[in-house]
Amino acid sequence: MMGIISEDFDWDRTNKVVTQEKSDEIYELLLKMFPDKEEIIRYHYNDEMGYPFAEWRRKIHDIREWVLEGPIVVNPEEIQMEEEFWDDRKEKFDDYVSGKSDRYFRDNKSDPRNIDFSKLPPVTLVKFDDIYEVNDGGHRVFLAKMMNKPLKSYVWVHKQNDSPYVREIENLFK
């Protein structure tokens, strides 16, 4: 994946701003910035505390360099998964199928072999050149790849974000 943030980046500070100090303000600014993306923004502000999932925090911090596009339908062969990521999802799937685990999804007891992909929440991908990588939704992407099913997706594209709300979000980090 593309490394935009330097190695001395202060993750603790970013996490505190995005998840505690300015979470509500950032949420409102994201809705203004991407008014037709409410579905995915609301979905990502839904961790146990009502804060954005970790996968989005870096994109929020670097919002000047990212634009959220979609929804689009992406075929599973277009999505790249690292081998380690694949192996982890495969192990969880096998544990479910063998009865070692009572669920595949953390918050849903649905049988992953009988999923209606049209009813799943959209995944979030990151586009690099002609490759999509998983930002959020690894379990769903794994299943889609296993069953060769397309997925509704929102995509972070690395390009200049000219929204007037960029500066407001950046100021929240100061």
C-alpha to C-alpha distance for 9 and 50, rounded to whole angstroms: 24
C-alpha to C-alpha distance for 153 and 10, rounded to whole angstroms: 29
Residue recorded with tokens 């804060």? 51
CATH entry, 73-158, from 1.10.3470, 2.40.160, 1.20.120, 3.90.1530: 3.90.1530
Map out the domains of the chain as residue ranges: 11-67+160-172, 73-158
pLDDT digits (tens, 9 = 90+) for 83-116: 999 999 999 999 999 999 999 887 778 899 998 9
pTM over 0.95: no
Most confident of 16-30, 44-58, 134-148: 134-148
pLDDT higher at 11 or 34: 34
Residues 72/153, Cβ–Cβ less than 8 Å:
yes
pLDDT digits (tens, 9 = 90+) for 51-94: 667 778 888 888 999 999 999 999 999 999 999 999 999 999 99
Average pLDDT across the chain, whole number: 87
pLDDT score of 51? 66
